[in-house]
């Protein structure tokens, strides 16, 4: 597609994307802060954070994906100026997210005792289990935040969540500093201080995001249309579940592959697991930035589709692809340049730093693939196409990437490098398959595609 066709979409996408990027970064910067500060206390606590984050992330992304079904439906309804439907989506979206948060938070009580069965170093499991329990509790306020946030973002109101994420991350960093190291008269809690800091920050995020949506004057028409807060519309709720569930499952397949790779690397010992945590932590920052562009693509593609502008919707998707390619290529070059310096921010153990530097080189190689696959998912969500991407993720990560990584890592004795090469292969396959899918599906006229997409949801 010629650049002249994409140019009109670049500025609207960037205006939507930059607040979402900062907001999305909020999720991962919590883990970055935890890892950097906990890493100063030793490689075993850092390895324990890696194990805890790996387990928590698999469950967390299921909830995040479920809530992401709100945004494309809100964007499409906003494109049609369907205020009654937007009221129903507000109520159903908040209900769905809150109930999911309760279930996910309770899951931590069941999962923590099972960590010992993952064949991780004993000292790592001992530190990770209580940390996981508290981190899972924070999923309840996080999901409440998501319910209100995804509704606002579907309307193109992305800055509010950005401001809250920046504030919450500043608070989390301060609380980590105070509680991990025992400053200002606070108890010295070690790595548990990071878990409590995350819980407190996420509670405040939920309170402030809910306050904005429930009180902002510009959202009054939708609140007035949402007349039955205690009784969500059943059809709307089912539609959200139908659209959000495949998104959550797809994200669970992807993040589950990364989490299981961490478990495999844990079989190599605490040093390898700590190095993996550094590299995956850095890669997750750039990934969430690309994820913000993907969220903007969902909004823009969904809104234009709702207006019946199939060609504009297609152009917006490819414009998002272009932005992501340029951004992630730049990030890959930065990782190559600074791969020997970045690990020192986390830990000073020579063996950990050496392994992390090697993994960052592979992370640099999969920047473009990682970015293109997530923006492909975002563009397809705007078309309400979610089931096929889930199948693609299942096959690419669990049938190809993980077995290949295990073979390279343990049969060919490449260790953690082999596991990461398997992940690189999976990401590249997903990126290629989703690009092809978007090219094909976006050609269908909006009036034809919409009923098919709804039935698929």
Whether the pLDDT of residue 68 is over 90: the answer is no
Q: What is the average per-residue pLDDT within 162-178?
A: 86
Report pLDDT for 453.
Answer: 39
Check residue 182 and give left, alpha or beta (phi > 0: left; psi -120 to 50: alpha): left
The DSSP call for residue 233 is -
The DSSP call for residue 452 is H
Report pLDDT for 71.
Answer: 87
CA distance 50 to 363: 17
Whether the pLDDT of residue 228 is over 90: the answer is no
CA 453 to mean position of chain CA atoms: 23
- Residues 84-103 have pLDDT tens digits of 999 999 999 999 999 999 99
Q: With contact defined as beta carbons under 8 Å apart, do 35 and 49 qualify?
A: yes
CA distance 66 to 55: 18
- Tokens describing residue 288: 């969430």
- Tokens describing residue 119: 């064949």
Q: What is the average per-residue pLDDT within 200-219?
A: 93
CA distance 137 to 435: 37
Report pLDDT for 434.
Answer: 94
Residue bearing the bigger pLDDT, 268 or 21 = 268
* Percent of the chain residues topping a pLDDT of 70: 95
Q: How confident is the model at residue 56 (pLDDT cuts 50, 70, 90)?
A: confident
Q: How many residues does the chain have?
A: 457
Report pLDDT for 409.
Answer: 94
Q: With contact defined as beta carbons under 8 Å apart, do 185 and 125 qualify?
A: no
The DSSP call for residue 309 is -
Contacts of 247 (CB under 8 A, 6+ apart): 65, 66, 68, 69, 377, 381, 386, 390
Contacts of 254 (CB under 8 A, 6+ apart): 61, 393, 397, 430
What dihedral angle (degrees, nearest 10) is formed by the CA atoms of 386, 389, 391, 394?
Answer: -120
* Residue 116 half-sphere exposure toward CB, CA atoms < 13 A: 5
Q: What is the average per-residue pLDDT within 241-266?
A: 87
**What are the structural domain ranges in the chain?**
3-456
Q: What is the average per-residue pLDDT within 295-317?
A: 87
Report pLDDT for 152.
Answer: 92
Q: How confident is the model at residue 445 (pLDDT cuts 50, 70, 90)?
A: low
């Amino acid at each position: 597609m010629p650049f002249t066709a994409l140019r009109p979409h670049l500025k609207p996408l960037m205006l939507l994307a930059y607040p979402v990027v900062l907001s999305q970064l909020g999720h991962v910067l919590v883990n970055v802060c935890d890892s950097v500060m906990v890493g100063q206390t030793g490689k075993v606590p850092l390895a324990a954070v890696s194990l805890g984050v790996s387990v928590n992330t698999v469950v967390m992304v299921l909830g995040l994906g479920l809530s992401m079904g709100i945004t494309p439906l809100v964007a499409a309804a906003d494109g049609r100026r369907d205020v009654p439907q937007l009221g129903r989506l507000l109520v159903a979206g908040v209900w769905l997210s809150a109930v999911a948060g309760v279930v996910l938070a309770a899951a931590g009580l069941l999962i923590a005792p099972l960590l010992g069965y993952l064949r991780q170093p004993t000292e790592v499991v001992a530190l990770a289990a209580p940390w996981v329990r508290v981190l899972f509790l924070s999923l309840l306020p996080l999901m409440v935040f998501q319910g209100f946030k995804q509704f606002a973002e579907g309307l193109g109101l992305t800055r509010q969540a950005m401001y809250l994420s920046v504030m919450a991350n500043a608070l989390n960093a301060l609380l980590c500093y105070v509680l991990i190291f025992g400053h200002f008269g606070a108890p010295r809690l070690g790595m548990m201080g990071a878990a409590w800091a995350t819980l407190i920050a996420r509670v405040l995020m939920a309170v402030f995001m809910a306050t904005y949506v429930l009180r902002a004057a510009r959202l009054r028409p939708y609140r007035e249309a949402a007349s039955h807060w205690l009784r969500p519309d059943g059809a709307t709720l089912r539609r959200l579940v139908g659209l959000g569930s495949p998104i959550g499952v797809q994200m669970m397949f992807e993040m589950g592959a990364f989490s299981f790779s961490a478990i495999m690397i844990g079989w190599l010992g605490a040093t390898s697991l700590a190095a993996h945590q550094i590299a995956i932590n850095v890669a997750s920052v750039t990934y969430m930035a690309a994820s913000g562009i993907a969220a903007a693509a969902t909004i823009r593609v969904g809104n234009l589709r709702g207006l019946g502008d199939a060609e504009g919707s297609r152009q917006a998707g490819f414009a998002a692809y272009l932005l992501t390619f340029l951004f992630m290529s730049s990030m890959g070059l930065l990782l190559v340049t600074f791969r020997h310096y970045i690990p020192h921010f986390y830990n000073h153990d020579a063996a950990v730093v050496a392994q992390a530097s090697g993994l960052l080189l592979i992370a640099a190689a999969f920047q473009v693939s990682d970015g293109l696959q997530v923006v492909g998912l975002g563009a397809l969500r705007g078309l309400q196409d979610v089931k096929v991407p889930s199948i693609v993720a299942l096959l690419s990560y669990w049938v190809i990437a993980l077995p290949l990584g295990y073979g390279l890592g343990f049969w060919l004795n490449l260790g953690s490098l082999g596991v990461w090469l398997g992940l690189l292969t999976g990401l590249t396959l997903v990126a290629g398959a989703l690009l092809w899918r978007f090219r094909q599906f976006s050609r269908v006229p909006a009036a034809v595609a919409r009923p098919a997409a709804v039935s698929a949801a």
